[in-house]
Amino acid sequence: MQGRLPSMQPTVVLLREGTDTSQGTPQLLSNISACLAVAQTIATTLGPRGMDKLIVDERGNATISNDGATLLKLLDIVHPAARTLVDIARAQDAEVGDGTTSVVLLAAEILKEVRPFIEDGVGVHVIIKGLREARNLAIKKIHEIAVHIDKSDPVRFRDLLLKTAGTSMSSKLIHSQMPFFSKMVVDAVSSLDPNDLDESLIGIKKVPGGGMQDSQLIKGVAFKKTFSYAGFEQQPKSFTNPKILSLNVELELKAEKDNAEVRVNEVSEYQAIVDAEWQIIYRKLEAIVATGAKVVLSKLPIGDLATQYFADRDIFCAGRVAGDDLKRVVQAVGGSIQSTTSDIEPQHLGQCEKFEERQIGGERFNIFEGCPQAKTCTLILRGGAEQFIAEVERSLHDSIMIVKRTMQNNSVVAGGGACEMEISKYLRNYSRTIVGKQQLIIGAVAKALEVIPRQICDNAGLDATDVLNKLRMRHAHDDTWAGVDVDDDDGVADNMKRFVWEPALVKTNALSSAVEAACLILSVDETVRNPQSEAQQAGPPAPRGAAQRALRGGGGGRGMPRR
């Protein structure tokens, strides 16, 4: 910090003109308030009666969603402390796919519960130590109460997966078609290789028009018909056991002037150049036909000459295939993407049981089925509006990730706030057995966990105070899986018997991320705002008055940087 030195000494300027700092307890409380504001924004999206948000970006594109990670990404939050919540929501989405709203609410509620201790002067590191101890106790308790599912009975295990997928959809836009989409998601994940369950092999294509029930699952790779040239309609559109060649080669007749400068003195020389162009492309096409491939795909354009050439020889071709689609085709049918047409050997080609071009809605799709190399599938989603189909895609991604994690970990807990209430009871009872400030911190975490069932009640129009009192009573009588039931007037039910199931991994990951985010925010006690203007940064040293203003402390958040 800079201060006024004894007379005859110059003022020391440490930071550039325009630099602002905020520090101390007011800064910390300001950061907590910002996090609570973020959580309040998305709180109404939680649970089976959660509301959707309509967000319009600067280009006028509208997004309708109730997925926590999607909303926080679109909100473009600039407060540096509040952006921590955006990061944990993204991490939760990437790791387990669901629980993104829950993790943000938990982190914010933990901060809200420990705020009085900060105001009373309790050391931040004491609070952080208590939060981490509470997290370890809670995760240990989740592992104790989690129900492990026997995978040996495939019928029962599939039934479990259907119910888990349905639970993740209960708060989404597609909850009315839950049985239909649950079956589709479980079939999609089951079609993958059980050893790695790579969800990137599940392609999702959107076709506007029709109803949700017109969506379908294709056991293989499907992509929309690409841009086609003259002669395309003369090509056969269906093959059995075809050989498939994947290229990264342009099969178009290019004028040589586009690629090089050629100087000629006689007309015959120019004719030789033209003839050479034709010879080059014909050599490429003859080499492709010689491989025996019946389906030719390329990332780059396949022009009208090549298209007609293939049509005359009963070969199907598609140029300008999207990179991710071509990659999935190669993973599914075998072979590899070739960057030249020379020296193509049989092992470079792939094969599938059936290829056909099929009309789906207003689009034509190229479909590869019976792929031997990798187990893959494609979901083709239908619906009225593009925003609606986009939200269906986000919902199905969450369900796919949940089913994948369940297949990998096969331990589940009851949802609807049941797990949180049980952990809350355990932490509250534990806190009474210890002494010191840690008792208060662990008790605060126990109270913060109740935010999940309380918010589910609020969003469903139930009396949250009444329902929480019933839940506390039932958990006190060892009714471990008592949770919120939004369909019952009583508001409370055994959610394990109602098959409201979630993977235990969702809960442990959410709790761990929420506590770490809270600890990170609590450990920040100063924010320095650097000037944005280039002119300010390049300018002369600040005068004395400006330097003093640049280094003022406190301010409770006046110095938050803006982007």
Q: What is the pLDDT of residues 60-74, one digit of tens each?
A: 888 888 788 888 888
Which amino acid belongs to residue 73?
K
Residue with the larger pLDDT of the pair 138 and 197: 138
Q: How confident is the model at residue 476 (pLDDT cuts 50, 70, 90)?
A: very high
Percent of the chain with pLDDT over 70: 88
Q: What's the pLDDT at 533?
A: 42
For the beta carbon of residue 297, count every other beta carbon within 10 angstroms. 28
For the stretch 199-220, pLDDT in tens is 778 888 888 888 888 888 888 8
Widest Cα–Cα separation across the chain: 101
The yes-or-no verdict on residue 544 having pLDDT over 50 is: no
The yes-or-no verdict on residue 546 having pLDDT over 90 is: no
Q: How confident is the model at residue 537 (pLDDT cuts 50, 70, 90)?
A: very low
Q: What SS3 class is residue 366?
A: strand
Active site residues per annotation? 67, 100-101, 398
Distances (CA, A) of 75 to 38, 44, 79, 225, 392: 10, 15, 11, 35, 20
- The answer to whether 493 touches 482, Cβ cutoff 8 Å, is yes
The yes-or-no verdict on residue 550 having pLDDT over 90 is: no
Query: How many degrees, rounded to 5, is the angle at CA 89 between CA 83 and CA 94?
Result: 130
The yes-or-no verdict on residue 352 having pLDDT over 60 is: yes
Half-sphere exposure of 458 (CA within 13 A, CB side): 12
Look up the pTM and report it: 0.74
- The answer to whether 525 touches 557, Cβ cutoff 8 Å, is no
Q: What's the pLDDT at 11?
A: 63
The yes-or-no verdict on residue 445 having pLDDT over 90 is: yes
The yes-or-no verdict on residue 245 having pLDDT over 80 is: yes
Q: What's the pLDDT at 475?
A: 93
Q: What's the pLDDT at 554?
A: 40
Which whole number is the average pLDDT over 395-412? Answer: 83
For the stretch 4-57, pLDDT in tens is 545 555 666 666 665 555 667 888 888 889 899 989 988 898 888 888 888 888
Q: What's the pLDDT at 427?
A: 94
Q: What's the pLDDT at 470?
A: 92
Contacts of 110 (CB under 8 A, 6+ apart): 131, 444, 445, 448, 514, 515, 518
CA neighbor of 191 nearest in space, from 179, 202, 181: 202
For the stretch 375-395, pLDDT in tens is 788 888 888 778 788 888 888
Give the separation between CA 330 and CA 479, rounded to whole angstroms: 52
Q: How confident is the model at residue 549 (pLDDT cuts 50, 70, 90)?
A: very low
The yes-or-no verdict on residue 289 having pLDDT over 50 is: yes
The yes-or-no verdict on residue 521 having pLDDT over 80 is: yes
Give the separation between CA 303 and CA 298, rounded to whole angstroms: 11
| Residue keyed to tokens 């050479």 | 276
The yes-or-no verdict on residue 535 having pLDDT over 80 is: no
The DSSP element (H or E) to which 501 belongs, if any, is: strand 501-503
Which whole number is the average pLDDT over 116-133? Answer: 91
The yes-or-no verdict on residue 327 having pLDDT over 60 is: yes
Query: What token pair was written down for 503?
Result: 């993977």
Query: What token pair was written down for 209?
Result: 């028009």
